[in-house]
């Protein structure tokens, strides 16, 4: 065989069927299921991936992440979860609250699940106990849904008179508990409460029209993935009415909201990434205790306060963990 023909034959090896070449092991796939939207959740995804990296797992190098986003439409989650299960993912990271976690739990009893939720995972049936989950699921409880009383109290300290409006998404798993909590808290502080439900964009517009007609003095926006997705619109509507408001995450206050009280979403998603990486390396969800957020931050945006004509008392300012000027 001539040398030129031999080189040409070797060059053609790239076109040989894959089965004739040495097979590379397939990278494990993480199914990332979320109630939220990709644009709004960028910081949370970055935090999740940073948690993965602490366990040596890097997306695109030795693991692949498949994303499925519900964009606040919780009814889509069962189908999205089933799609990831059919895809044969190694771990399901169910993020963005109870709707995602419950959809993942209903879709599989064998694939490991790592969740981030706002409430009590025992109460909603995700785990047997916090210390010993006992099944195929574990994760992080951000306790966001259990902080509405504290938010209402801080709002009462800042705005000491008038009716409080409360925005709740009736489609959220914890909506009834949120309603009961703020009603009890309202009676405890002696303030009239006007709860308005909104589960989509049109209802959000109608809700703020209702608040305007009711002459509410201040607003509590409860923790809910849909509201997090729509936070820019919600804050714009509050600004149009010159309505002071308190929100569940510091991301609101950082982008123009008056006040926020809650845990760090970044920290919660980082921990979820760590747990996901540990599961990929052989840890069993049944043996990984559910983590609970312990650090809550009260953030005040003084620039927004000035725009609204609000002057905080020294007592309220002293309670803040961070003041944005």
75-84 residue pLDDT tens: 999 999 999 9
In the chain, the domains with their CATH numbers are 29-143+264-292 (3.40.50.2300), 145-262+297-324 (3.40.50.2300)
Mean pLDDT of 248-266: 93
215 contact partners, CB below 8 Å, separation of at least 6: 162, 163
Mean pLDDT of all residues belonging to the chain:
90
pLDDT at residue number 130 = 94
Cβ proximity of 258 and 309 under 8 Å: no
- The answer, yes or no, to whether residue 20 has pLDDT greater than 60, is no
- Angle between the N-to-C axes of helices 77-87 and 98-107, in degrees from 0 to 180, rounded to the nearest 10: 50
Confidence at 25, pLDDT banded by 50, 70, 90:
low
pLDDT at residue number 145 = 66
Cβ proximity of 81 and 92 under 8 Å: yes
141 contact partners, CB below 8 Å, separation of at least 6: 117, 118, 119, 120, 121, 130, 290, 291, 292, 293
Q: Return phi, psi of residue 93, to 5°.
A: -95, 105
pLDDT at residue number 293 = 81
- Structure tokens of 164? 């409080």
Q: Return phi, psi of residue 41, to 5°.
A: -95, 15
86 contact partners, CB below 8 Å, separation of at least 6: none
pLDDT at residue number 75 = 95
DSSP letter, residue 63:
B
- The answer, yes or no, to whether residue 90 has pLDDT greater than 80, is yes
- The answer, yes or no, to whether residue 21 has pLDDT greater than 50, is no
Q: Which of 29-33, 147-151, 184-188 is most confident?
A: 29-33
């Amino acid at each position: 065989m001539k040398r030129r023909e031999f080189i040409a034959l070797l060059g053609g090896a790239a076109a040989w069927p894959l089965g004739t070449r040495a097979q590379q092991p397939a990278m494990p796939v993480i199914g990332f299921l979320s109630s939220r939207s990709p644009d709004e959740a960028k910081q949370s995804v970055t935090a999740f991936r940073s948690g993965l990296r602490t366990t040596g797992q890097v997306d695109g190098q030795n693991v692949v992440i498949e994303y499925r986003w519900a964009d606040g439409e919780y009814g889509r989650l069962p189908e999205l979860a089933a799609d990831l299960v059919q895809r044969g993912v190694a771990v399901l990271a169910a993020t963005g609250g109870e709707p995602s976690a419950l959809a993942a739990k209903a879709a599989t009893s064998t694939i490991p699940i790592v969740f981030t939720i706002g409430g009590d995972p025992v109460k909603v049936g995700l785990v047997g106990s916090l210390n010993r989950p006992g099944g195929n699921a574990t994760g992080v409880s951000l306790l966001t849904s259990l902080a509405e009383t504290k938010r209402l109290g801080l709002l009462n300290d800042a705005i000491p008179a008038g009716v409080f409006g409360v925005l709740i998404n009736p489609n959220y798993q914890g909506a009834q508990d949120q309603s009961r909590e703020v009603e009890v808290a309202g009676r405890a502080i002696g303030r009239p409460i006007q709860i308005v439900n909104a589960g989509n964009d049109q209802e959000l517009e109608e809700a703020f029209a209702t608040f305007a007609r009711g002459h509410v003095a201040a607003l509590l926006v409860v923790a809910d993935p849909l509201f997090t997705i729509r936070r820019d619109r919600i804050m714009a509507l509050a600004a149009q009415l010159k309505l002071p408001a308190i929100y569940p995450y510091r991301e609101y206050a950082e982008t123009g909201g008056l006040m926020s009280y809650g845990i760090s979403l970044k920290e919660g998603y980082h921990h979820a990434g760590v747990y996901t990486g540990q599961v990929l390396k052989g840890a069993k969800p049944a043996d990984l205790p559910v983590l609970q957020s312990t650090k809550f931050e009260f953030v005040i945006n003084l620039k927004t306060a000035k725009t609204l004509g609000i002057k905080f008392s020294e007592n309220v300012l002293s309670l803040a963990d961070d003041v944005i000027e």
